Structure 1
Amino acid sequence: MFIINLTYKTELKNVDKFLNAHIDFLNEQYELGHFLASGRKIPRTGGIILSNVESQSELEKIIGKDPFKKNDLADYNLTEFVPSKTCEELKFLMK
């Protein structure tokens, strides 16, 4: 499992030009079962995605399809982790 930490490296007006395409990308990844949660940071300096993709190399290929990545709008920091405790609603994350 990975936490994907996106940090914008351009003005929000540039990010907003590709926001709908980014949302389409997210929707596709949810449909494929690759993403579990996502959202904006507060303040709006980027976003966070929780992914259940098992390998970093596979996740990097997926991220390469994101319009924010393709257009060099954000940096991506990947943190791999293994959940060891969750609330009842998230028990499915435990392996």
Structure 2
Amino acid sequence: MFVLELTYTAPLERVDALLSDHVDWLNTHYASGTFIASGRKEPRDGGVILAVGADRAAIEEVVASDPFVTAEVCAYRITEFLATKTSPELAAYRQELPA
């Protein structure tokens, strides 16, 4: 599982101009099952996405296609972790520690 942390690198006016395209991009990846939660950070200086993927390279490819990235209005920090404990609702995403 991956935590994708966005940090805006441009004024909010530029970010907001791309927001509709970013939401369309989010919706595409929710539909594919890659994203399971997302939202703005408070204070509003970026956002966070919880994602699942085959590997880091696949997630990096998804991130690179974000309109915020292609327009250079945000930077991503990608953190991979093993979700060894989840709520019952997220049991499908539970992972095992490597042997």
| TM-score, structure 1 as length reference | 0.95
Taking the aligned partners of 2:25 and 2:55, their CA distance within structure 1 comes to 19
CA shift at 1:93, angstroms? 1.4
Identity of aligned residues (%): 41
Runs of 5+ in structure 2 lacking a partner? none
Take 2:54 and 2:90, find their aligned partners in 1: how far apart are those partners? 17
* Structure 1 stretches lacking a partner, 5+ long: none
Q: Deviations over 1:34-66 (max 9, x none)?
A: 111100001100000000112111111111111
When the two chains are superposed, the root-mean-square deviation of aligned CA atoms in Å is 0.8
d(CA) in 2 for partners of 1:87, 1:31: 21
> TM-score, structure 2 length as denominator?
0.92
1:44 aligns with 2:44: yes
Q: Give the total of aligned pairs.
A: 95
**Which shifted more, 51-60 or 22-31?**
51-60
- Give the Cα separation in 2 of the matches to 1:94 and 1:82: 8
CA–CA distance in 2 between the matches of 1:19 and 1:11?
Answer: 13
Distance in 2, Cα, partners of 1:89 & 1:61? 27
TM-fit CA distance, 1:84: 1.5
Amino acid at match of 2:69: K
Divergent runs of 4+, >4 A: none
Matching residue of 2:53: 53
The equivalent residue for 2:12 is 12
Is 80-89 or 67-76 further displaced after alignment? 80-89
